[in-house]
Amino acid sequence: MPLKLSLKPGEKLFIAGAVLQNGPHGAELTVLNDVPVLREKDILTEQSADTLAKRVYLCVQLMYMDAANLFDYQQKYALLVQEALKSWPDAADIIARTNADLACGRFYPALRTVRELVELEQERSGVNSSGA
């Protein structure tokens, strides 16, 4: 199924290992094959992953973007999830849904679900939403 993307002027996009930046005008792209695609607003950097939930998000993001190192990210993810469950036992449903998507190779849906964990963490700490 083709993926249509409407890009804002100057917006960055990650597609299958390449970082692209739109020019000074809006553009519309159609991705015709199944490759990792992330918009700039969905990308979290290592420097921005300053909380446990954001580190979980970053780990899932890297599983999606860097398949060559998937095993390493899976190992790190397992450790981070154990820590997250200790901190937020009531997040077990979020983590279970994330795990189900990851087990089926649905990385982008897993990222959307992990955002719920980031939001839960922010609610608990009283921080406004930003990043991921």
Q: Model confidence over 6-29: pLDDT tens digits?
A: 999 999 999 988 999 999 999 999
**pLDDT range class, residue 111, cuts 50, 70, 90:** very high
Q: Measure the CA–CA gap between 122 and 40, rounded to whole angstroms.
A: 21
User: Mean pLDDT across the stretch 62-87?
Assistant: 96
Helix or strand holding residue 72 (H, E) = helix 70-87
Q: CB under 8 Å, gap of 24 or more: what pairs does 89-98 form?
A: 91/117, 91/120, 94/120, 98/60
User: Which range marks the domain in which residue 11 is found?
Assistant: 3-42
Question: What is the pLDDT at residue 2?
Answer: 82
Same domain, 34 and 57: no
Name the band, by pLDDT with cuts 50, 70 and 90, for residue 127.
Answer: low
Eight-state DSSP code of residue 89:
G
Residues 28 and 91 reside in one and the same domain: no
Q: Is the pLDDT of residue 128 over 70?
A: no
Contact (CB, 8 A) for 111 and 61: yes
- Mean pLDDT, all residues of the chain: 92
Which residue from 109, 107, 32 is spatially nearest to 66, judged by alpha carbons? 107
Using an 8 Å Cβ cutoff, are 40 and 54 in contact?
A: no
Query: Does residue 65 belong to any structural domain of this protein?
Result: yes
| Total number of domains in the chain | 2
Q: pTM value?
A: 0.88
Mark whether 63 and 84 lie in a shared domain.
Answer: yes
32 & 65 share domain: no
Residue 83 domain flag = yes
pLDDT at residue 120 greater than cutoff 90: yes
Percent of the chain with pLDDT over 90: 86
Q: Do 70 and 115 reside in the same domain of the chain? A: yes
63 & 21 share domain:
no
